Amino acid sequence: MSLIPEKPIVFSPTLAATIGLEEAILVQVLQECASHCAQVSSSGYAWITVTAQNLLNLAPFWGEQDIRRLSSSLHEKGLLLIGGGAFSAVHDFRFAFNENTAESSADHRSTQASNAVPKTHSGNNPHSAKTIGGSWQPGGDCLRQLAQLGVTGEFARQQVPQFVTYWRDRNVPRHSWEAKFIKDVWRNWQQAEAQSFRKQKEVPICSDWRPSQDALNILSKQGGINPNFIEDAIPEFILFWRDKGELSSTWDSKFINHVRYQWQYYSGMIDQDKMPQAMTAQWQPKESVYDVLRMANIDRDFAQRLIPEFVLYWQENGSVQCSWSTKFLQYVKRQWARHIQPQTADQNYGKQQGSDSKSRIRDRNIIDALSDRSWAS
């Protein structure tokens, strides 16, 4: 690193407030070039030619497109004359300060820096600050500059009505409405592109959807949630969002929030029950069970219709549990998961009532559903 500090770029705050901060900095950089390069007089103007690389070195914080954009802006404002085409990194840049309309732009040390703005002695001066007209339209050069930034002509023209309406209501005078239009349209274009990119990634949830391994690790390893509880939450999550028909690019995030919220209630039920107890004929699940089921979008009536067979099976089984509510919650979720294309609660109840109690209790699927989750004990 050199011990000799770089020469600072000093610019006028008044000039920056008038023509724009970046434009004022470029005026100073070009003035620095004019101070060290030979000037050629032509048609009453002092023309300076500087290599593109030298200009880029003087402003390392800008790229080729930045200098092209800002020099074009100064040209539109009537402060700069450009010869031989717009700035390019592969060609020398030829320019002259327009002394006829910006006398003090060539002298950045003058305390009258504001004189760099074109002076208006007549309303016919095209460079005077003026409010926007109701029939204002961007010119061809303006649209070409936007096209160079990737903005389509159709998109740019769609922005004109709201641009005109907005600035007419504010009645603010400006020296270059096209420069302001370019800036506003470019910002709107970037926002529209970002929104379009997000929408392209949005997809509906499918029947075989599964959370990513990262999502599972966040829930089980970082969140301390039992993996079986997470697995039981997947079918109900798919069912709910598939029925809603929504699109999303963040299904993993939705699933993480869904499981975390349910686990808080589930953990609370476990903590409340410490002593093992046998099943009683009058047993009813806690109200918090229905809160969890409601978060899982499982019908309350569906759960209540499963209580008689659940009670009967565990009375005959004779086992004791610390939390019958958590055991019942797990059973209901397993039964609900069987209905990815759900039947109505009445149909399901009718099928269950179609067989006698003993055969229903001995049904293999019910036994599996009730007994293969020792983690819920």
Q: What are the strands, taking DSSP E only, across the chain?
A: 39-42, 45-50, 80-83, 93-97, 203-204, 247-248, 277-278, 320-321
Q: Please give the pLDDT value at position 321.
A: 75
Question: pTM higher than 0.75, yes or no?
Answer: no
CATH number of the CATH domain containing 182: 1.10.8
Q: Please give the pLDDT value at position 262.
A: 78
CA dihedral 60, 65, 70, 73 (to 10 degrees): 180
113/171 same-domain check: no
- Rounded-to-integer distance, Cα 127 and Cα 69, Å: 19
pLDDT confidence bin for 353, thresholds 50/70/90:
very low
AA letter at 270: I
Q: Please give the pLDDT value at position 361.
A: 34
Name which of 119, 111, 106 is nearest 13 in CA terms.
Answer: 111
320/267 same-domain check: yes
User: Other CB atoms closer than 10 Å to residue 320's CB: what's the count?
Assistant: 13
Check pLDDT > 70 for residue 205.
Answer: yes
Assess if residue 207 is contained within a domain.
no
| CA within 13 Å, CB half, 109 | 2
Assess if residue 156 is contained within a domain.
yes
DSSP state letters, 195-219: HHHHHHT-EE--TT----HHHHHII
What are the Cα distances from residue 172, in Å, to 158, 165, 321, 332?
22, 12, 76, 66
The continuous run of DSSP H or E covering 183 comes out as helix 177-200
21/156 same-domain check: no
Average pLDDT, the chain: 75
101/218 same-domain check: no
244/98 same-domain check: no
Range with the poorest average pLDDT among 237-251, 297-311, 354-368:
354-368
In contact, 77 and 19? CB cutoff 8 Å: yes
Higher-confidence residue of 263 and 358: namely: 263
Check pLDDT > 70 for residue 70.
Answer: yes
- Quick: pLDDT tens for 11-33: 778 778 778 888 889 998 898 88
pLDDT confidence bin for 375, thresholds 50/70/90:
very low
- Quick: pLDDT tens for 257-274: 888 877 876 676 555 555
Rounded average pLDDT over 358-376: 41
Rounded average pLDDT over 238-245: 79
Q: What percent of the chain has pLDDT over 90?
A: 2
341/221 same-domain check: yes
Assess if residue 238 is contained within a domain.
yes
Q: What percent of the chain has pLDDT over 70?
A: 75
Check pLDDT > 70 for residue 229.
Answer: yes
Q: Please give the pLDDT value at position 128.
A: 65
93/140 same-domain check: no
192/217 same-domain check: no
Rounded average pLDDT over 197-202: 68
138/60 same-domain check: no
Assess if residue 205 is contained within a domain.
no
172/251 same-domain check: no
Place of tokens 């300076």: 48
77/159 same-domain check: no
Check pLDDT > 60 for residue 355.
Answer: no
Q: Which of 63, 91, 118 is the C-terminal boundary of a domain?
A: 118
366/221 same-domain check: yes
Q: Which of 142, 175, 200 is the C-terminal boundary of a domain?
A: 200
CA dihedral 365, 368, 369, 373 (to 10 degrees): -170
pLDDT confidence bin for 364, thresholds 50/70/90:
very low
- Quick: pLDDT tens for 134-179: 889 988 888 888 887 788 888 888 889 989 989 888 888 888 888 8
Q: Please give the pLDDT value at position 198.
A: 66
Q: Which of 59, 85, 118 is the C-terminal boundary of a domain?
A: 118
- Rounded-to-integer distance, Cα 328 and Cα 284, Å: 10
Query: What are phi and psi for residue 238, nearest 5 degrees?
Result: -60, -45
User: Which residue range(s) make up the domain with 162?
Assistant: 133-200
DSSP reduced 3-state for 348: helix
Assess if residue 100 is contained within a domain.
yes
Assess if residue 125 is contained within a domain.
no
Rounded average pLDDT over 92-117: 52
Q: How many domains does the structure of the chain reveal?
A: 3
Assess if residue 128 is contained within a domain.
no
